[in-house]
Chain A
């Protein structure tokens, strides 16, 4: 394989992995606070259509990303209100949110299909990325650097900051956190809103980073991958990074295998489509077998908070 090709693959992998990584980081924080939001896919679709429409009408990509995040927050607040304020079942509400997001984005996107937008360009000036090697470091759009910075930021927040400690405490033992005097519902609202913003941005990655148009259900189930990754990565941000990139790698290999026609293209297309999911799950399960993954799971995950008095 030539250097050119290798670098092209790396760049594609990074691009394909970025939305999954961003959405999964959001969900990780949500779950660490003890809330299971299965509506990631729906919030991503709302973010995707918002990002597309704003980019299409204004041409301003950063405004598009910002408003996609805001739309994600707004969608997540529906979930937050139902599950946190009204103690509705989180699993059912999350599923409903995905159905809602799918339908809403399809409705709002009517008439926008097959209309092109421009993709978000690289963050750094092209001169920095003239040599192929430099392209690996400096050839990406701002969203990619954002996702990597967020891996570190989420890790630091959860591990080192006091606010992160409180968030983990709320996810671990809501009643104790309440009795010490922390606002369980407040912390969880904040976490859900953060998850919504990240899912919105992740959704906006599709029209702004990957395919410069709107298509119904264009997130293609990546929201679900994000949710699954969080569990298989044992709620650890850096493992999440590894999992998301692995998924992107296998997915990209599929494209190249088909295109290059070599022996790999003999593998049936269905198997190729399943491969990224299988590979990611298998690898992450193997990682988590080694250490005790269960101790890292937030003990209150998915349980509504019902203080006795």
Chain B
């Protein structure tokens, strides 16, 4: 049997970037094939060429043994190639059925289409009400629409670009069941993800790209997550180096009985939160999403001001009543979880984004005028020190991939050398190499004497990074203790809301 898909010598040049450099590999019928690589390695570009969104500069695509040219997505669908995008292109105000109808090339009467949709959902156990409005659906349900849309065409190859980065573990499990069933029916799957344990659980083969070049094709079941990560970044994955025998200095950030008020429906306020972070210390705050992490970050950054000025002190100075700008002046910098629109303005250049948070600490504004030279120089330093893949300080924040934007934002705050840094989800959606770099930068900042608070849902991250750990549940923070004293079970119990004495009993 010929290969389902065979690429040979695919090359794609963008202005300033060689996104794919002579890439060749093959996908067999019924194979689940992983495509791995760091952010910017060229994975999305490669699959876009297979799906006809872009054209390769050179190279050949063979489909079931025959050389083909795929001029547009419509032609790809006619060949039997389906794709589920990283960012869904759905119409929020329209129903599931209408959304699917819009994406179909053939005009099918809506009753017949609905019957076919129900049939596909039945076959693959995808539950979805065709008459629901998309705006009311969860992310996982939205993805199901895209999958159903692709499956309606009986594809022989299904391409999925980072399908799980926004799904809950249960949704991921359901997705894998569907994908395995599809593969068993002979449909090939090209699967892109950063989550290496997923690749090990799901995929038969993995092709690894680095800087646009194919560096290896391997069997993920025979590899470890670490060995695949090392192939992706090209060097050994560095362990975080924590200077041995560290001692902590004076208390830097003292939070005393901090509380916020409920503002929206889904908002969980924090009540009676107290903790102390000393110079050189990294405090990790664990917890299941939606337990008050957002309120805590806002209350610390100054987006929510406290009625009690003594609720937050830095170096003994009360800052509870101050806004974000004043707190930054006093040495407290913060990175919220949401990058686009909260931590950075997508339409602004990186340089302007630097001015937004670093202007006071680094003197980028002189007598009301922006010193754009200083902003550019600083942004250039962030880009260089944190290996941000961007065209330069003038590139807009929105043009960066998620991982690169995160590196930029972390760099922008860390290089300001804040007395206290509060970060939420520092490595969300970031590949292994970049995550290690961000972790190391945080450790180095602490070693230089800053106090750091890391709010994260990733327990592995917290256990490697933190010196002390506390758990947030329903807006209440547990007592903080050295991380070594916690067992995983105990953290789990605290995250579920079982406290101190009960947990011990």
Contacts and interface: CB of A to CB of B under 8 A. Distances in A.
Interface of A: 162, 165-166, 168-169, 172-173, 175-177, 179-182, 295-296, 298-299
Contacts of A162: 101, 107
A175 B98 CA distance: 17
A180 B72 CA distance: 10
Given A180-B102, A181-B73, A181-B74, A168 B90 contact: no
B14 to A, nearest CB: 11
Contacts of B72: 181
Interface in B75-106: 89-94, 98, 101-103
Contact of A179 (B89, B92, B94): B89
Contact of B91 (A176, A181, A296): A176
Contacts of A169: 91, 94, 98, 102
B94 A180 contact: no
B90, B93, B107, B133 interface centre (most CB from chain A within 10 Å): B93
Contacts of B73: 181
Contacts, number: 44
A172 B94 contact: yes
B91 A173 contact: yes
A173 B101 contact: no
Contact of A295 (B89, B90, B101, B135): B135
> Top 9 nearest A-B pairs by Cβ distance?
A176-B89, A172-B91, A173-B91, A172-B93, A169-B91, A169-B102, A179-B89, A165-B98, A180-B103
A165 to B, nearest CB: 6
Contact of B133 (A175, A177, A295, A298): A295
Contacts of A176: 89-91
Given A181-B74, A295-B133, A295-B135, A168 B103 contact: no
Contacts of A173: 89-92
Given A175-B89, A176-B91, A181-B74, A165 B133 contact: no
Contacts of B103: 180
Contacts of B102: 165-166, 169, 177, 180, 182
A172 B135 CA distance: 12
A299 B89 contact: no
The secondary structure that dominates the A interface is helix
B85 to A, nearest CB: 9
A168 B89 contact: no
A168 B93 contact: yes
B94 A168 contact: yes
Nearest to B97: A165
13 contacts: A162-B107, A165-B94, A165-B98, A165-B102, A166-B102, A168-B93, A172-B94, A173-B91, A173-B92, A177-B102, A179-B89, A181-B74, A295-B93
A173 to B, nearest CB: 5
A295 B107 CA distance: 27
A166, A168, A180 interface centre (most CB from chain B within 10 Å): A180
A166, A168, A176, A177 interface centre (most CB from chain B within 10 Å): A176
A179 B94 CA distance: 17
Contacts of A181: 72-74
B395 to A, nearest CB: 14
Contacts of B91: 168-169, 172-173, 176-177
B397 to A, nearest CB: 15
Interface in B25-58: none
Contacts of B98: 165, 168-169
A17 to B, nearest CB: 29
A169 B100 CA distance: 12
A165 B101 contact: yes
Given A169-B91, A173-B90, 18 more contacts: A162-B101, A165-B98, A168-B94, A168-B98, A169-B98, A172-B91, A173-B91, A175-B89, A176-B91, A179-B89, A180-B89, A181-B72, A181-B73, A295-B133, A295-B135, A296-B93, A299-B92, A299-B93
A167 B342 CA distance: 33
A176 B135 CA distance: 15
Contacts of B89: 173, 175-176, 179-180
A296 B92 CA distance: 10
Contacts of B101: 162, 165
A166 B93 CA distance: 13
Contacts of A165: 94, 98, 101-102
B311 to A, nearest CB: 37
Interface in B381-428: none
A179 B88 CA distance: 11
A295 B92 CA distance: 9
Contacts of B93: 168, 172, 295-296, 298-299
B74, B102, B135 interface centre (most CB from chain A within 10 Å): B102
A166 B102 CA distance: 7
B178 to A, nearest CB: 23
A190 B488 CA distance: 62
A175 B92 CA distance: 13
A174 to B, nearest CB: 10
A296 B94 CA distance: 9
Contacts of B107: 162
B396 to A, nearest CB: 11
A296 B133 CA distance: 11
Contacts of B135: 295
A30 B282 CA distance: 56
Nearest to B103: A180
A267 to B, nearest CB: 42
Interface string B92-129: 11100010011100010000000000000000000000
A131 B135 CA distance: 52
Contacts of A182: 102
B107 to A, nearest CB: 6
Contacts of A295: 93, 133, 135
Nearest to A172: B91
